[in-house]
Structure 1
Amino acid sequence: MSTILLVDDETQILEILTSYLQKDGYHVLTAMTGETAIQIADSAAVDCIILDLMLPDVSGEEVCRRIRKHSRVPILMLTAKSQEADRIHGLEIGADDYLIKPFSPRELVARVRAVMRRAGDYSALSDEFAAGQLIISIRDKTIRKNNIALDVTPNEYRLLTTLARHPGRTWSRDELVREVLGYDFEGYDRTIDTHVKNLRQKIEDDPKQPVYIKTIYGLGYRFDVPVKK
């Protein structure tokens, strides 16, 4: 039985969502403050976190940042912010998905299934991919460059893994959105561009002249394996 950590300061929302999640077969832990959520995430085996952004003590964004320092657990954000910039910001700091309030409890359960399925798709693999000085370990969910572990977000990790598993293939932004983020909403190709930019800062010797992630103008992105000299 998978364990869900549900974080919201509204009792009624906690009760309703707990009921729906339990009916779908999940074990549910609840927290009404950010600090409590962080403590539970640090001490319990949690498979997914549903995180409201408006909390009475620590903001949901800060909770997400602190959890991301040591965990890749899927995080689904709940927010009343509907602006695209706000949604993109949530994804950039480590969220895997988001729902705008008000929402249907059934949609939330479906989103939970989706983010956990995507996480499982990557964790089920057990290989290691090497490209030059870059090593991607699917088993350990780590990325190393020159034997140094890189600090990447879960979405950056999934993006790089998706590209690296198919070297030479050109992916459109829409394809990467669906594969990596699980969305099919207009405007999210900008998020992919941001993740690519951030990844290049971390894995490339010269981000302005990338060796690994190439831009194929008018089409999308491609992962290349450097040729040994």
Structure 2
Amino acid sequence: MNPALILLAETQCEVRHDVRDFLEQSGFRAMAAASAHDIFHALDETSIDAVVLDAALRGVDGLDLCRDVRERSDVPIILVGANISEVDRVVGLELGADDYMVKPYSARELAARLRAVMRRGRNERMLVSHGFGHALFDGWTVDFGRREVIAPDGALVSFTAAEFSLLAVFVDHPQTIVARARLMELAGVRDGGSSDRSVDVLVSRLRRKLSRGGNPAPIVTVRSAGYMFSAPVERR
């Protein structure tokens, strides 16, 4: 199997080259990108495994670009920036980023983060290996083999890698309170401290996608305890 191919979109030429070299020394393949055009060309022409996206990429707004990349692909995105506030981080996560890092950052830590976001499928792969290829709840169908989510009306609903992994954790622990820290661990969401709202934003995104036809999503917040997937789940 070929090493994972990382698209490194970085505004500073020296940083771009240094980080690309480090990633290649760490067992990845890496492509450098200096513009939105470079990013979209790479996504259209190559099978990219993850994107490292500089929020200060010249000529575009990084958050808008994050949204545009997410609309084209469910590839994991790590958003980086020199002056990312908590509001920016939350907005980035809302727009589809899987993780974020503040510049200047350690290339070694970036490599570790990349491995983490690309491991997020391990929970659903484990379910398939145990003979559970599908999960059904409230008319919804989750196909772990195809990584697809089908709504009660038959529509195929697009989920990012992080959203799908979080949903896999919920359907694997139905009607059970899962502590926030445990949920982050199982879904591969980084725990960066008390101010890190990654998992909360992902839950919010899941709720919006699972709320259809006037029916609320079966995800309940249990105050001071965590979250609970309230629907019964049938496994096949």
- TM-score, normalised by the number of residues in structure 1: 0.86
1:124 shift after superposition = 6.8
How many residues are paired up? 226
**Is this contact kept in 2: 1:68–1:94, CA < 8 A?**
yes
Aligned with 1:111 (options 113, 127, 132): 113
Q: Which amino acid aligns with 1:202?
A: K
1:152 shift after superposition = 3.7
**Is this contact kept in 2: 1:35–1:57, CA < 8 A?**
no
Q: Which amino acid aligns with 2:15?
A: I
Q: Provide the secondary structure at the position in 2 that maps to 1:54.
A: coil
CA distance in 2, matches of 1:227, 1:49: 34
Equivalence for 2:194: 186
Provide Cα deviations, 1:151-175, integer angstroms capped at 9, x if missing partner: 4444332222211111122112222
Equivalence for 1:16: 18
Aligned with 1:145 (options 122, 142, 151): 151
Moved more, 42-51 or 150-159: 150-159
Q: Provide the secondary structure at the position in 2 that maps to 1:178.
A: helix
Runs of 4+ aligned residues of structure 1 deviating over 6 Å after TM superposition are none
Indicate how the Cα distance of structure 1 residues 59 and 119 shifts in structure 2: closer, same or farther if over 3 A, else same.
farther
Equivalence for 1:47: 49
1:1-229 → structure 2 map (5 Å cutoff): 1-119=3-121, 121-122=123-124, 126=128, 127-146=133-152, 147-180=154-187, 181-188=189-196, 190-205=197-212, 210=216, 212-226=218-232
- TM-score, normalised by the number of residues in structure 2: 0.84
Q: Provide the secondary structure at the position in 2 that maps to 1:15.
A: helix
**Is this contact kept in 2: 1:34–1:59, CA < 8 A?**
no
What is the CA RMSD across the aligned residues, in angstroms?
Answer: 2.5
* Structure 1, gaps ≥5 residues long: none
CA distance in 1, matches of 2:26, 2:18: 13
Q: Provide the secondary structure at the position in 2 that maps to 1:46.
A: coil
Moved more, 47-56 or 168-177: 168-177
Indicate how the Cα distance of structure 1 residues 70 and 141 shifts in structure 2: closer, same or farther if over 3 A, else same.
farther
Indicate how the Cα distance of structure 1 residues 177 and 227 shifts in structure 2: closer, same or farther if over 3 A, else same.
closer
Q: Provide the secondary structure at the position in 2 that maps to 1:175.
A: helix
CA distance in 1, matches of 2:216, 2:28: 43
1:73 shift after superposition = 1.3
Indicate how the Cα distance of structure 1 residues 81 and 123 shifts in structure 2: closer, same or farther if over 3 A, else same.
farther
* Larger RCO, structures 1/2 (Cα 8 Å, 6+ apart): 2
Indicate how the Cα distance of structure 1 residues 121 and 225 shifts in structure 2: closer, same or farther if over 3 A, else same.
closer
Provide Cα deviations, 1:175-229, integer angstroms capped at 9, x if missing partner: 22333312242123x443443334333323577x74621233331211133599x
CA distance in 2, matches of 1:155, 1:22: 24
Q: Which amino acid aligns with 1:46?
A: I
